[in-house]
Amino acid sequence: MRIEQSFSVSRPPEVVFDYLTNPANLAAWQTSKTSVEQLTAGAPQLGTRVRERTKGPRGKEFEQIVEFTAFDRPARVHAHIVEGPYPVDGTWSFATEGAGTRVDFVAEGELPGVPRFLQPLAKRLMARQMAGYHQNLRRNVETDETSDQGNAR
């Protein structure tokens, strides 16, 4: 399964990248997260691992461990599912677009346990959910006047 999305944010790439990669912000834009715990010490970087608890589509909670396996600030970050029931990785790429940022997102992976004939429906549902998350991210970054202060790495 592959999902591709693009959207614009009216803030510089560094600001968008820093917000997206900060585990403390994750539940604010990926609203199905019930808890997020950074497992590695220090600022987010290549190799950072996070434990996420997520409320699934039928209300059942699940846990996964995610690792940044690409971390090229402010151009690209890849989140790899190390452990968890839904091994769908995500890559976000950031490019200057006028005074803001164009974000390109690609999710790739297979949904185990989903019958082949239901894969297209699952893909549409996941794409809709990610589009909602990206709207939250855009709104949060554009309305946070402090997000470009003190977050530089």
Q: How confident is the model at residue 151 (pLDDT cuts 50, 70, 90)?
A: very low
Q: 2-143 in CATH: which number?
A: 3.30.530.20
Whole-angstrom distance, CA of residue 75 vs CA of residue 83: 26
Q: How many CB atoms lie within 10 A of CB 8?
A: 13
Q: Where are the domains of the chain?
A: 2-143
What is the rounded average pLDDT of the residues 70-90? 96
Our CA angle for 123, 1, 95, nearest 5°, is 90
E strands, 11-60, where?
33-38, 49-55
Q: How confident is the model at residue 146 (pLDDT cuts 50, 70, 90)?
A: low
What is the rounded average pLDDT of the residues 82-109? 96
Whole-angstrom distance, CA of residue 92 vs CA of residue 111: 20
Whole-angstrom distance, CA of residue 3 vs CA of residue 52: 21
pLDDT of residue 50: 98
Question: Whole-prediction pTM value?
Answer: 0.90
At residue 57, does pLDDT exceed 80? Answer: no
